[in-house]
């Protein structure tokens, strides 16, 4: 279901009270006013290679769309080549549009943390350079609170043997990447998997977390045919 259709469906949803009962009828001659639906929200993350980030979040329950792009820098409309120089200040990132009635930001954070190496300061896995560092770009105070809270919980768990260096910073302008980067794992599955395996991403994730939560069931099923 696309974002436009989802939003339209939310607009015509019935009004319920906090207890779950129907709201009291409006006075005669006056139409009842529907409660405002919750609009789709954004979650923006840098997980190193945005091809991998996009494949990880697409198909998750409540996720409407995932876009690869660049954020955190100073240059307007940067290109892949410019960001790759490490001089624009941008990070390879993904922007996740999600329905907060079907999933939570806390759940998205859990997926994020378990698909990065939070202790690596020079990039992610085999990709080295400032543009590949892991970052949470929060949208508003509540996202910031949850990001910091989950960071503290992970550090206190003792699971990681080194300090967390993942940055938690305010979201800024997000620039979608070039078309050939969007859905790269679907367009070029063999090249995507060659890159991912060659980079040692999954081996390191399993070493860090003791488990893998890489793909949604639908994306995992697509790769079963390889």
Residue 224's pLDDT is 80
Query: Which H helix or E strand runs over 6?
Result: helix 3-11
Place of tokens 């395996």: 197
Residue 8's pLDDT is 37
Q: Which stretches in the chain have pLDDT values below 50?
A: 1-27
The pTM assigned to this predicted structure is: 0.83
pLDDT tens for residues 10-61? Answer: 333 333 333 333 334 444 555 555 556 679 999 999 999 999 999 999 999 9
| Active-site residue (options: 49, 52, 126, 199) | 49
Cα dihedral 119/122/124/129 (nearest 10): 160
Q: What is the CA radius of gyration of the chain?
A: 20
Domain ranges of the chain: 39-223
Residue 20's pLDDT is 39
Q: Return the beta strands (E) in the chain as ranges.
A: 41-47, 63-71, 91-98, 123-124, 127-128, 134-138, 167-170, 174-176
Give the Cβ contact number of residue 172 at 10 Å: 13
126 as an active site residue: the answer is: no
How would you classify the pairing of strands 63-71 and 41-47?
A: unpaired
Residue 223's pLDDT is 82
Pick the CATH number of 39-223 from 1.10.357.140, 1.20.120.1460, 3.30.1060.10, 3.40.50.970: 3.30.1060.10
Place of tokens 């560092």: 133
pLDDT tens for residues 51-71? Answer: 999 999 999 999 999 999 999
């Amino acid at each position: 279901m696309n974002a436009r259709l989802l939003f339209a469906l939310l607009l015509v949803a019935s009004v319920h009270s906090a207890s779950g009962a129907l709201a009291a009828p409006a006075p005669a001659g006056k139409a009842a006013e529907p409660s405002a639906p919750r609009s789709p929200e954004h979650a923006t993350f840098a997980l190193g290679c945005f091809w991998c980030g996009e494949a990880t979040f697409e198909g998750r329950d409540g996720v409407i769309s995932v876009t690869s792009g660049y954020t955190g820098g100073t240059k307007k409309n940067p290109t892949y080549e410019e960001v790759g120089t490490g001089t624009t200040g941008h990070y390879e990132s993904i922007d996740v549009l999600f329905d907060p009635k079907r999933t939570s930001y806390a759940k998205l954070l859990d997926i994020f943390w378990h698909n990065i190496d939070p202790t690596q300061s020079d990039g992610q896995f085999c990709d080295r350079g400032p543009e590949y560092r892991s970052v949470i770009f929060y949208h508003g105070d509540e996202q910031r609170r949850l990001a910091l809270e989950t960071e503290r919980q992970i550090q206190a768990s003792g699971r990681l043997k080194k300090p967390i260096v993942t940055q938690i910073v305010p979201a800024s302008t997000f620039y979608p990447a070039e078309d050939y980067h969007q859905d790269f794992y679907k367009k070029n599955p063999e090249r995507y998997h060659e890159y991912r395996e060659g980079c040692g991403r999954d081996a390191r994730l399993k070493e860090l977390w003791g488990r893998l939560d890489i793909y949604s069931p639908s994306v995992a099923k697509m790769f079963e045919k390889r």
